Amino acid sequence: MTTNDWVGVILTVVVFLLILAAYIYALYPKNREKLEAQRFIPLDDDQLDDGEKHGG
């Protein structure tokens, strides 16, 4: 196997492990309340980084 093959294999395994860890974290019952509290943050237009509302 060439160096490029090894880099591809290692990168694939690392990404797989990161995704697996994210799934385990997200689906672990102990984290449910913490994640549910942040459920609508992407849809919340009232909270901006600077704390001000910009009218449109």
In the chain, domain spans: 3-38
pLDDT value at residue 32: 82
47: its two tokens: 């909270």
> Is the pLDDT reported for residue 47 higher than 80?
no
Q: Which residue did the predictor score with more confidence, 44 or 35?
A: 35
Binned at pLDDT 50, 70 and 90, residue 51 comes out as: low
Identity at 8, one-letter amino acid code: G
Distance, in Å, from the CA atom of 27 to the CA atom of 25, rounded to the nearest integer, reads 6
- Note the pLDDT of residue 25: 87
pLDDT surpasses 80 at 17: yes
Q: What is the DSSP string of 24-50?
A: HHHH-GGGHHHHHHTTTGGG-SS--TT
Residue identified by tokens 């860890």 is: 21
- The pair of structure tokens assigned to 28 is 């672990």
